[in-house]
Amino acid sequence: MRERAAGCGYRGGWQRGRPSWPRLHLTPGHAERGVTARDGASPISPTPTSTTPAAGSRVLSRPRLTATMLVLAAAVWALDQATKQWALGRFTPGEAEPFLGRLLQFTLVFNPGAAFSMGTAFTPVITVIMAAVGIGLLVASTRVGSRWWAMSAGFLLGGALGNLTDRLFRPPGFAHGHVVDFLMLPDFPVFNVADSFITTAAVCIVLAAIKDIPFGGRAADTTTEEGDHRG
């Protein structure tokens, strides 16, 4: 009887003609399962060994962030090109059509310059710059390490490719094409959807700099990702 009890972690016996209650000696495993000692003693709390990341620290892996960035860029490009085709078929150049009164109007113009009709005399130079930006962002997409930067870079890439498409394939010729603009605000240059996303991306990049969010992600996030893949 005693041998069997001892093997189970109990100690007990007969004292002065009456049985003494056996005491349970807890191991860390018992404490983890919430077992309480019979004599009311506090269970032994083992040192936590969990490696579960804190709430909010889990991030997407680099391949998924790259895919997110490229999907966003493709969506922005498609939206930009679709709205330009709609504007070409819907409006007459030079005529304004109110949408939200004078706050937002539609007017079709062809812009040989950069975003918001800047640099109209340097169309080929602007085309080269936009192409370089697009290529640079595509190369950098494999190193993006945060959701914020995946979104910002996706908006910027999609907007740049949208206007670059106009530069390359619209009249009057290759690399000299005029960008289709059709959105007009009071006392503001006419713009398009691509310009809107480029501006949004610029604001997001400034906020990332203020919040000290690195393009490649933080080291702790990278460690967490690698640990998740090994698990």
Find the mean pLDDT for residues 10-20. Answer: 53
Catalytic choice (39, 80, 166, 195): 195
Stretch (H or E) spanning 97: strand 96-100
pLDDT in tens, 106-134: 999 998 876 555 666 677 888 898 899 99
33-42, 81-90, 164-173: range with highest mean pLDDT: 81-90
Find the mean pLDDT for residues 172-192. Answer: 92
User: Dihedral (C-alpha) 103, 104, 108, 111: value to the nearest 10 degrees?
Assistant: 80
Find the mean pLDDT for residues 144-156. Answer: 96
* pLDDT at position 13: 52
More confident residue, 225 or 98: 98
Is residue 28 within 8 Å of 43, Cβ to Cβ?
Answer: no
* pLDDT at position 45: 47
Q: Is 181 a catalytic residue?
A: yes
Q: Which two tokens stand for residue 86?
A: 């709609």
- Is 228 a residue whose pLDDT tops 90? no
Find the mean pLDDT for residues 171-199. Answer: 93
Find the mean pLDDT for residues 48-77. Answer: 74
* pLDDT at position 56: 41
* pLDDT at position 28: 53
Q: Is 195 a catalytic residue?
A: yes
| Burial class of residue 89 (count of CB atoms within 10 Å of its CB; 0-12, 13-18, 19+) | exposed
**pLDDT tier at 161, thresholds 50, 70, 90:** very high
Find the mean pLDDT for residues 5-25. Answer: 52
Catalytic choice (39, 80, 166, 181): 181
- Is 231 a residue whose pLDDT tops 80? no
Contacts of 115 (CB under 8 A, 6+ apart): 163, 191, 194, 195, 198, 199
* Averaged pLDDT of the chain: 79
* pLDDT at position 217: 83
- 179: β partners: 111
